[in-house]
Amino acid sequence: MKKINFILNGEKRQIYVEASDILLEVLRQKMGLTSPKCGCDNGDCGACTIILNGKSVRSCLIFAIEIDGMEILTVEGLSKNGMTPLQESLLTHNSFQCGYCAPGMILSATELLKVNPKPSVEEIKECIAGNLCRCTGYQPIIDAITDLTK
Amino acid sequence: MPIAHDFDYIKPATMEQTIELLNQENKRISILAGGTDLCNMLKNGFRVPDLMIDIKALHELNVIKDNNTDIFIGALVTFSELINSDIVKEKLYILWEAAHKVASQGVRNRATMIGNICSAVACMDSAATLLVHNASVHVKSVNGERKIPVNEWFVDNKKTACLNNELVTGVTLEIPQKKYASAYEKQMRYAGEDLSQSNVGILVQEDKTYRIAFGAVGPTPKRSLKIEHFLQGKELTDSIIAEARQMIETVIAPITDVRSSKEYRMQMTKVMFERGLRTAIERLNNLI
Amino acid sequence: MENYKYIGQSVQKIDGKEKVTGAALYTDDLEFGPDLLYAEIVESTHAHAFIKNIDTSRAEEIPDVLAVVTGKDFPFKFGLYMKDRFIFAQDRVRFYGEQVAAVIARTPKAAKLGAKNIRVNYQPIDAVIKQLDSIKEDAELLHPDLENYVHVPWFFPKDKTNIAHHRKIRKGDMDKAFSEADHIFEEQYEVPRYSHCAIEPHAAVAKFDLSGRLTVWASSQSPHTQRHIFAEALSFMGIRHNDVRVIAPHVGGGFGSKAGVTMEIIAAAIATKYPGHPIKIIWNREREFFNTYQRPGVITKLKMGVKNDGTITALKHELFWDAGAYVEYAANVVNAVGLSAMGPYKVDNVQIDSYCIYTNLPPTGPYRGFGYSEFLFGLESLITQVAHKLNIDPVKIRRINAIKEGDTLAYGAHMNPNGLHQCIDKVAKEIEWDKKESSPHKNKVIGKGFSLFWKAPAMPPNASSACFLKFNEDASINILVSGMDIGQGYLTVMAQIAGEILSINPNKIRVENPDTDRNPYEWQTVASHITWSCGNAVKNAALNAKNQILELVARCKYLPIDTLFLEDEKVKCTTKANFELDLKDFIITGLQMEDGTFKGGPIIASGTFMPQFTSTKANPETGQGGHPNVHYTVGAAALKLEIDTETGKMKILKAVEAIDGGKILNPSLAKGQIIGGLLQGISTVLYEDMRFDHRGKMLNPNFTDYKIPTALDIPDEIVPILVEVAQPDGPFGARGIGEHPMIPAAPMIANAIEDALGIRIKSMPITAEKLCLAILNSSKTNINNK
Ligand code: FES
Ligand code: FES
C-alpha cells in the first residue's frame, strides 16, 4: 500500500492504494464516484473517460498509483456548480438515450471545447470518436455540441 | 477487471537510478510510461512483473528536439503531443498523419510513440515513420548507451533488439536534406479507431529517390528496396506506378487473420501504395 | 387531429438531467456497504463436452475465497418459453464459455484468482457448429431428452433431433400458385450471428437475507419476468413470488440482451447458497459477447412466384436458424418469424417453415428486430432482384404488392390500419429515387437501395401491463409502472400520457424504473410494445384518477359531472366560467363541505391493460386459426451509397427512413430511435463481423475486433420521416417503433450495391473487404467472359 495525494474535483484527497489498483476501480469503489463507467475495461469504449491534468484519458488504462500529485475531474465535479452549457445543450437536444456513454462523451467534448470553442463537425466527430455509443447514432450528440458553436 | 497479482512500484527521479533498477537480473520488470498497452497486459495476465518502473519523472525524456539533420523524440512524448508539435507537422508529416490514426484522443493523450515501438506489434502505426526516416532507437543501460538502427530493431512480431536491462530513451529520425514529402496510408475496417490491417509509408525526394515501407504484412515492418530501386530516378507515370504496384505481390507476404484476409491485405496494400505515392508526390509538388 | 397539450410534443426526457450530470445510477453504481461479496465464474473451454469432475480444492484454500458452487448445487432447469437451461452446466457443457462453477470471495481479486484455480476435467464430444450440419441424421444430439422439456404450447420440438421448434405456415394452394406464376425465382441468403453491444455490460447483485427473502438488483429489461423465473426456479426452497424482489436501476442499453433471464440467475442462485451477504457479479466485455444472448444466425431459402406485371402469387420461405446451445428465448424469435416471414406484402399463397436448431455455439435470443432484420435481408433482396429481372422499377414492384389494411396475414387474421404506401411515397421522394447519380470521384460509384419493413410485437397472447398513479400534495404525480427505460424514453412518454389526460405538465410527473415490491406487474420491456401496452395502462390509470377527481367535485360542489374538466392543475366547469378548483387544495386533503367535514382523500388510481383479442390457438400444421400478433408497425427506407471500387469502402451519403408509428407521442424521441436504430442496422451490414473458430470459440469478443461504429462512421445524413396512421387500440393512437428502424438496413445496402455495380451479395455482413473481393472477382469473370 502506498499513500497518494491528488486533487479530485477540486478537493485535496489522500488515499492508500496498491500498485496493481486500476484508477477506474479506485474512483468507483474507494472514492464513491460512479460517473466514470466500465464499458470494456480495455481502452476501447471511452466510458471510463476522466480528465487528468486537463486532458481526457481512459481511467481503465491507468494505475491509481500513478496519479500522485495530479488533478482529476469527473462529471460530478463538472456539475458541481450547475450544468455547463454543454450539458444544457445535450439535455435540451435529448441527445442521450441510455446515458451510459454520457459522462465519457461529455468529458471528451469538454476538453475539445476548452482548446477549441468553435470546432467544426469533423473536429467534433474526431474528438468523440473514442467514445462508443450504441444508442443514439451520435447525430443528436453532434448536433448539441454544434449548437454551442453558433 | 482487477489485476490478480501484486507487484512493486517505483518512480525513480533520475536516469541513473532508473537504469540501476533495471539492472536486476532476478526480477521481471515492466516499464511504465503511458501504460495503455501495459495495463491490459497485466489485467489479462500476459505479463506478471515483480516490479513496475514508472519513468514519468524523467522529464528529459519528454522532448521533441530538432537537430536540423535529425529530430529526437523522447520516450515520454505522447501521440497527442506529436499531433500538437509544429516540428512534427512540418518535418515529419508522415508521423503527424499516423499519430492522428492511433486509437482515440483519450488514448493518444497517454500513449507514447516509444511505447508503440517497444510493443512492436506488427500493426503498429509508428513503424512506417521509423523506416522511411532511417530511425535509430536509443537505449541506455548500466553498460552505456546504444543506438540501434531501425532495420535491426524489429526482430520478430512483438520482439525487439532491446535487452532486459535497457531503457529506451527515445528515437532519432533522420531528416532528408533535399526537398521531400511523405504520406501514411492505413488499412482500417472503418474510419473510427482501429488497428491497422496493413499500412504503407512513403517518402519521396526531389531527386526522385523514394522510400517505401510496408507494415503488418509480415512479422516485422520493412522497407522495400526492390521497389525503391525500381522507382529510383524515374518520373512517376501511370504505367510506372502500375508496374511498381504489381511488384508488391513479390515483396510482401500478408497473412489471413481475424482482421483481414491476405487477399484483401494484398489488394489494400497495392491501393494504398499507389494513393500514398500520388499523395506524397502532390505534396512535394506543392512545396515547390 | 385533436389538439393536444403534451402528446405529440418533443418533451425533454424526464431522466435527461440525471444522465448528463452523472447522477444516474446503474446497477454497478449502487452502494452495498463493506459486506459486499464478489463472484467470478469459471467458463467452459470446450464447445461440447462431458464434465468428468471439478476440483475446487485449490480455489477454496485461497485467502478471502468463501465458497465455490457448481452445477450440483442447482440441479433444475429454467427458461422463458422453454426450460432447456441450467444455472450452471450439469454433466455436460454445450458452448465455449458456458458457466460451470462460481467462486464467491471477499474481493474481486480473490474471486478472480479462485476461478483461475478451479480445475475442470472434460471429455470432449463432437461439436456441432453449423445449423445445417446439426439437422443431419447422424448429428450429435445436444439435448437427447428434448422430449421431456417443458415449453409453451405453441412450440413443436422434434424428438431425437436438434430441432427445438418448427413453426409452419400453410396458406392457399402453393402448387397451383407456382404453376400459374409467369416466373419463379429461387435464392438462398445467409445472415450470421450478431452481438447487442450495449455499452453497459450485464450486472447483478443478489442478497438472500437471513429471513429468507431474496433481493436482486439487476440491469434488466424484464424485472417481473425475472422475479417469476427466480421464484419458479427456487420454489423447491419454499420461495414464493413475494419473497423475491427485483430492483432495476437505470439500464445502460438493452437491445434485447437484458430481456428474459441470463446471468442474473447466477447471482440469485449463488446468493441462496451463501445467505446474509450481497453478492455482486459483473459480466466483462468478453462474456457480454459470448455468454448472454447473441442474435441468431439464419440461412433462408426463398422461392417466389410472380406474374408478368410484378404481382407476387406465391412465396415459399424456409428458415434454418442457428439458435445455439439453449433456445429458451430464441425459439420464440423463430416462431415470430415463422408467423411473419411473408413480409409486408399481400401474398395469397404462402408456405413458411421456420426451424429452431440447436448448435454448440452461444445461446441466442432476442435482439432488436427479433428475427425480422434477418429474414427481410433475403426477402427484400429477392424482391429487388425480381424487379430487375422483370424490368420493373424496384419501388414500383413494392407499391404493387405492399400490404394494405384488411389484407389477410399469413396466419389468417387481417392487417391493421397502416401507412405503408405513404411511407413508400415519402421515402422515394426524399431520396429522389428516379434520379440516377454518379460520383465526381475517380474510382467511386453511387447506388441507391430501397427496402420495406414490418414487425409485430412477439409476445404471449396475454402479456399485460399495469400502472399505479398517485398524487402528491402539490398536485405533482408519481407513477409506478414496471416497464424499463432502456434509453428509448419510455418514462417520459408515460408522463406525457398521464399529463395529457390530467392536464399536468410532464415535468411535474415522476416515473422511475421499478422495484417489483412496489410497482405493479409488467411482462417485459421488449417487442416494441411498451408504449402501446403500458401506455394504455397508464392512460387507464389517469382516466381513473380523473374520474375520481371529477366525481368528488361533482358530489361536493353539486355540479353535473359532464360539465367538469381538468385544465392546468385545476378543475373547471363548462357552464360556470368562474368556477375553478386548484387540485393542490384537495387532491390529498379532500374537499371541505359547508359543515366543516371533508370528503374525498388522497387520489390514488390504477390501470391495467391486456389485449383481449389475441390467441395462439392454431392448427400446428398450417398455423391458421389463431390471432398471435396484436398489430404490425410498417415502414420504408432508402439510401444513397457511395462505393470506392478499389477498396470496397462504402459511405452512406444519405439515408431516409419513414415509419408509421400511429400517433407519434414524442417526435424528438421517435426520431432518436430512427437515427440510432438505423445506425445499429447499418453497423450489422458494414462493420460487425463475428468470428468463431472450428471449435466454437469466439475469436473477437471485444471492441478491438468486433467493430461497432464510432462518430466517424455515421451516414452523412439521415432523414427520419414520421407517418401517423392511428392504431385504433393504442394510447392516443400510438404503436411501437423501437426495434423497427434497424430492420431495413441490410437489404437496402445490398440493393444499393447491386444498383451501383451489378453485384448481388447474398450473405451478411457486407464489409468493405467482402465487397472489394467480390468486385475483384467479378472483374476477373468479366475478363474471362470476354
Ligand atoms: S472502460 Fe475504459 S475504455 Fe472502455
Ligand atoms: S446513450 Fe446509450 S450508449 Fe450512448
* Average confidence (pLDDT) over B108-117: 97
Amino acid at A124: I
Contacts for B15 with CB less than 8 Å, ≥ 6 apart: B58, B60, B140, B167, B169
Q: Inform me whether the C-beta atom of residue A35 falls under 8 Å from chain C C-beta atoms.
A: yes
Q: For residue A23, give the DSSP letter.
A: H
Output B123 or B209, whichever has higher pLDDT.
B209
The confidence score (pLDDT) of residue C786 equals: 41
C17, C263 Cβ separation under 8 angstroms: no
Mutate to test the interface with A, among B51, B110, B112 (most CBs of A within 10 A): B110
Which residues from B are below 8 Å from C697, CB to CB? none
Same domain for A71 and A29? yes
Angle at C35 between CA C31 and CA C39, to 5 degrees: 85
Give the per-residue pLDDT at B288.
64
Grid cell locating B66: 530538432
Which residues of B fall below an 8 Å CB-CB distance to C?
1-4, 104, 189-195, 258-261, 263-264, 267-268, 271
Residue from the list C16, C24, C679 with its beta carbon closest to the beta carbon of A137:
C679
A98 near C CB under 8 A: yes
Domain-terminating residue out of B135, B152, B174: B174
Cell digits for C448?
441507391
For residue C742, the 8-state DSSP code is G
Reference B187, options B178, B196, B179; nearest CA is B196
Q: What is the pLDDT of residue C782?
A: 63
Q: Give the number of domains in chain B.
A: 3
Give residue-wise pLDDT tens across range C55-88. 999 999 999 999 999 999 999 899 999 999 999 9
Fold match between C16-23+463-609 and C371-459+631-785?
yes
Residue C595 to residues A108, C588, C591, Cα–Cα distance (Å)? 65, 19, 11
Q: How far is the CA of B222 from the centre of ligand 1 (A)?
A: 33
Which structural domain, as residue segments, surrounds residue A117? 85-148
- CATH number at B274 reads 3.30.390.50
Q: Which of B4, B189, B191 is closest, CB to CB, to C109?
A: B4
Q: Is A132 in the pocket of ligand 1 (CB under 6 A)?
A: no
Phi (first) and psi of residue C300, to 5 degrees: -120, 140
Determine the residue of chain A that is closest to C254 in CA distance. A98
Is residue B50 located within the same domain as residue B63? no
CATH of the domain at B139: 3.30.465.10
Cβ contact, residue pair A106, C20, below 8 Å: yes
Substitution site in A75, A95, A100 for ligand 2 pocket (most atoms within 8 Å of beta carbon):
A100
Please indicate, yes or no, if residue B220 is contained in any of the structural domains: yes
Residue at which a domain ends, from A41, A56, A76: A76
Do the strands C477-481 and C465-471 form a parallel or antiparallel pair, or are they unpaired? Answer: antiparallel
Q: Which of A45, A133, A138, A139 to mutate to test the pocket of ligand 2 (most atoms within 8 A of CB)?
A: A133
Q: Which helix (H) or strand (E) holds B98?
A: helix B93-100
B152, B174, B196: which is the final residue of a domain? B174
* Low pLDDT (below 70) residues in chain C: 1-2, 781-786
Q: Based on the fold, state whether residues A90 and A69 are members of the same structural domain.
A: no
Report the pLDDT value the prediction gives residue A10, as an integer from 0 to 100. 97
Q: What φ, ψ does residue C384 adopt, rounded to 5°?
A: -70, -40
- The residue whose grid cell reads 457479479 is C281
CATH code of the domain containing A131? 1.10.150.120
- CB contact burial C127-156 (16+ within 10 A = b; e otherwise): bbbbbebbbeeebbebbeebeebebeebbb
Q: Are residues B167 and B190 in the same domain?
A: no
CB C95, CB C696: distance < 8 Å: yes
Q: What is the mean pLDDT of residues B262-287?
A: 97
Residues A69 and A98 in one domain: no
Atom 3 of ligand 1, nearest CA residue:
A43
C-beta of A40 in contact with ligand 1 (< 6 A):
yes
Final residue of a domain: which of A13, A42, A76?
A76
Tell me how far the alpha carbon of residue A107 lies from the centroid of ligand 1, in angstroms. 14
Q: Does A120 touch chain C (CB under 8 A)?
A: no
Name the phi and psi angles at C644, rounded to 5. Answer: -85, 115
- What is the distance between the alpha carbons of residues C419 and C660, in angstroms, rounded to a whole number? 6
Number of domains present in the structure of chain A: 2
- A95 in the same domain as A67: no
Cβ within 8 Å, pair C22-A102? yes
Which ligand has the minimum distance to the alpha carbon of residue C200?
Answer: 2
Q: Compute the residue count for chain A.
A: 150
pLDDT in tens, C403-428: 999 999 999 999 999 999 999 999 99
**C16-23+463-609 under CATH 1.10.260.40, yes or no:** no
- The backbone torsions φ and ψ at residue C486, rounded to the nearest 5 degrees and listed phi first, read -100, 20
Enter the C-alpha cell of residue B212.
517505401
Q: Are residues A90 and A143 in the same domain?
A: yes
Residues B164 and B186 grouped into a single domain: no
Under an 8 A CB cutoff, do C713 and B194 touch? Answer: no
Strand partners, C51: C122
For residues A98 and A71, state if they share a domain.
no
Sign of CA dihedral C390, C394, C398, C400: negative
Give pLDDT, residue C536. Answer: 98
In a domain, B2, yes or no: no
What is this model's ipTM? 0.98
Q: Which triple of cell numbers denotes residue B161?
A: 533488439
Q: Is the CB of A68 under 6 A from ligand 1?
A: no
Residues B168 and B267 in one domain: no
Look up residue C694 and give its three cell numbers: 472450428
Residue-range definition of the domain harbouring residue B107: 59-174
- pTM for this one? 0.97
Q: Is residue B1 in a domain?
A: no
Class of domain C32-125+202-282 (CATH, top level): alpha beta
Say whether pLDDT at A139 is over 50: yes
Q: What is the CATH number that goes with domain C371-459+631-785?
A: 3.30.365.10
Nearest to C13 among A94, A103, A142 (CB): A94
Dihedral sign computed on CA atoms, order C669, C672, C674, C676: negative
What's the pLDDT score for residue B1? 81
Neighbours of chain B (3+ CB pairs under 8 A): A, C
**Residue C8 cell numbers, joined:** 405529440
Residues of C acting as catalytic residues? 739
Select the residue from C692, C707, C776, C777 to test the B interface by mutation, using most B Cβ atoms within 10 A. Answer: C707
Same domain as B149, residue B65 = yes
Quick check: B6 and A46 CB within 8 A? no
